[in-house]
Structure 1
Amino acid sequence: MRHDAIAAQVLRQDVQALQAYAVQPSAGFIKLDVMENPYRLPAHLQAELGQRLGAVALNRYPAERIEDLRAALAAHARLPEGCALMLGNGSDELISLLTLAVARPGATVLAPEPSFVMYRLACQLLGAQSGPRFVGLPCRAEDFALDVPALLEAIAKERPALLWLAYPNNPTGTLWDAGAIEQLIGAMQGHGLVVMDEAYQPFAERDSMDWLRRHPHVLLMRTLSKFGLAGVRIGYLMGRSEWVAQIEKLRPPFNVSVLNAEAALFALEHAQVFAEQAEAIRTERERLFGALQALPGVTPFPSQANMVLARFPDAAATFARLKGQGILVKNVGGMHPLLHNCLRLTVGTPAENTALIEALK
């Protein structure tokens, strides 16, 4: 029997209809497409880290060292009393586990859109029969702010088990109004969880920690990817101990490798280096935003992340021209109708940003 015939018999139809995540080949390009920290460790720290990793017992499963990392992250984040911290293989795994945890018949997951695609995809991957139904509500078209009345109406109608709020948002870079979020947290009390996804917290002027302290139904998710360790794949979830204990039951054993854990521990010991890198990125973000404002026909949107979303007269043509000049950015125009003709530009090093600005001119 042919492979496609067998696949049609044994694989879910919705899985067959999906497209695998594609990564643009980037060798030889200025890479400004996936919100990475553009800075590497200084040479002397690279050497120290190499020695540390060389001494790791690769013949053993991860054990106590993972607990060391959990404790170090809790100290770094200043985990509130009564809360616990759970490790994930990047934020994506945590999103999948949270979605799986609420996958009851008739359950709904709610999020503003455009936002991180994994919120919707995690529901789809569980299947129409077992997965929760995803409801996405458009942000305000003019500034990507939250449409609070529409969200409050949806919360009252759907009674979602999960409300995702990316803070700042991806791909818009928006740091949503604190008063609006307070209203949504209040509306979710008693029937669902609010998950604040702070992947871009190192670049923002405020965070969600106060909401985590004050509201038992608020969870807070962060990652070391934007901190500067995208290749290490460490995400972490914080929340009341009783909530985290339930989600922890779904975590695969040994989901964080000993090499990843050791690299993360090393980075936390040198957190000041990464804090200085984040400050440099914030400075460059404002320079890039100003340069985009000065370009005729281009509308950049204010950002509190390490990228700037901008609308161009012809995003596809601009993307192609930049690629032809050796610069990779992300064309997000097809992700959501509100993103028509939009490119997402990761903030790079000063030299990379200058090259981008000159190419756009």
Structure 2
Amino acid sequence: MNAPISSATPKPLARIRHDVQGMHAYAVQDSRGLIKLDAMENPHRLSPALQAELGARLGQVAVNRYPGERIDALKTALWGHAQPPADWSLMLGNGSDELISLLALACDLPGASILAPLPGFVMYAMSAQLQGLAFHGVPLTADFELDEAAMLAAIARHRPAIVYLAYPNNPTGTLWDEGAIARIIAAQGAAGGLVVMDEAYQPFAARSWIENVRAAPAQHRHVLILRTLSKYGLAGVRIGYLLGEATLMAELDKVRPPYNVSVLNAECALFALGHSDVFAAQAQDIRAQRALLFEALARLPGVHAFPSQANMILLRVPDANKAFEGMRARGVLVKNVSKMHALLAQCLRLTVGTADENAQMLAALQAAL
């Protein structure tokens, strides 16, 4: 007979870290039956002809083998796509989220910390907490620009292992001042730390920091460029990549799990890069739709839309909860970010969709206000 379980018997949950039990999991909203404008996805699907072509390619993949030479082919294709300095190298991740986690793992020295402006991407802080690193958030200004003085002071005080700078930022869409970023990069380099320029929204921005790297590679030996193909149009494929000086990348690559990128995902990415003209046209359409949305939002009383260089728009409304629920009741799902940070009070974040989706979103917003 099995021994009875007494109240004194340890519970399995006791083996899970208390801080993890106290955390909130990353929330994904239920979008069934709704126009999905909450997660900054590219709204364009492949044409039937391209779907058939991709299906045929995936059908030929040797799924009985671990990923091999196609991973190397993808790294070569992404290298040509990004065009970093000649002495840089590239590391693949299962989305950029995995790479953010691996960076925290690699830099987990006693007393190490991670620093980033707030509001920003939640995974910077979450990866730090999960790895046992301290996280220091530096508030942006009221108009969501970098507080350069506060950033420099925080670097001097905390000497963080990593400073994250999203370029453009999520959830604000801001493309911060180049001079301020350059001075922050220099200060972090003088302190012996890394800077990660997170360019998840690069396809929609007016510029990329890789241009500054090419112009002055010696000043960027401690800088990493983080990108993803999610916003490119492959959110479901989960391909992220990290670029940096080869010696530094060789050390970071040691914490990457073997075969961390599926060969099916790699083949999808190679297919997309081989049809870069299609995805470039999609990005151009999204940028054009973004401009039209700003014009329309400016005509709505009580609505303030903040400048954006991403495929999202942050706007402040009189009552974010009422507007969010009213839009959802009318079949449109956006992101209510009003509780994420004090600076985001009464703010919603809208993904730029197709022309038809945007029209329905605007009608729902106007009715919900």
Same fold at TM > 0.5: yes
Contact 1:111 1:137 survives alignment (8 Å): yes
Alignment correspondent of 1:19: 24
Matched, 1:225 2:226: no
Instruction: Note if 1:34 corresponds to 2:35.
Output: no
Counterpart CA distance in 1 for 2:129 and 2:87 is 33
What CA distance in whole angstroms lies between the structure 2 residues aligned with 1:8 and 1:345?
38
Partner SS state of residue 308, structure 2: coil
Task: Tell me the secondary structure at the aligned position of residue 348 of structure 2.
Answer: strand
1:44-73 residue CA offsets vs partner (Å, 9 max, x unmatched): 111000000011111111011100100010
**Which residue of 2 is the match for residue 62 of structure 1?**
67
Alpha-carbon deviations, 1:34-93, whole Å to 9, x = none?
000000111111100000001111111101110010001001111221000000000000
Match of 2:183 in 1: 183
Q: 1:106 aligns with which of 107, 111, 114?
A: 111
Give the C-alpha shift of residue 203 in structure 1. 0.1
Using the TM superposition, give the Cα deviation of residue 117 of structure 1 relative to its aligned residue in structure 2, in angstroms. Answer: 0.3
Query: Residue 93 of structure 2 corresponds to which residue in structure 1?
Result: 88
The structure that has the greater radius of gyration is: 2
More divergent stretch after superposition (275-284 vs 7-16): 7-16
2:362 to 329, 352, 357: 357
Deviation at 1:134? 0.5
Confirm or deny that 1:208 pairs with 2:209: yes
Q: Secondary structure at the residue paired with 2:92?
A: strand
Using the TM superposition, give the Cα deviation of residue 21 of structure 1 relative to its aligned residue in structure 2, in angstroms.
Answer: 2.2
Where 2:255 maps in the other structure, the secondary structure is coil
**1:7 Cα deviation (Å)?**
3.6
Amino acid in structure 1 at the alignment position of 2:95: G
Specify which of 259, 263, 266 is matched with residue 271 of structure 2: 266
2:334 counterpart of 1:333: no
Q: Does 1:50 align with 2:55?
A: yes
Aligned residue pair count: 356
Match of 1:235 in 2: 240
**Partner SS, residue 189 of structure 1:** helix
Query: Does the CA-based 8 Å contact 1:211-1:218 persist in structure 2?
Result: no
SS of the counterpart of 1:19?
A: coil
Residue 61 of structure 2: SS of its match in structure 1?
Answer: coil
1:313 equivalent in alignment to 2:321: no
Pairwise CA distance, 1:5: 5.7
> Does the 8 Å contact 1:69/1:265 carry over to 2?
yes
Calculate the aligned-residue CA RMSD, in Å.
1.4
Mapped to 2, the partners of 1:302 and 1:201 lie a distance apart of 15
Report the Cα distance in structure 2 between the residues aligned to 1:297 and 1:26, rounded to whole angstroms.
Answer: 27
**Residue 161 of structure 2 is aligned to residue 161 of structure 1:** yes
Contact map agreement 1:212 1:220 (CA 8 A) in 2: no
Mark the runs of 5 or more structure 2 residues left unpaired by the alignment. none
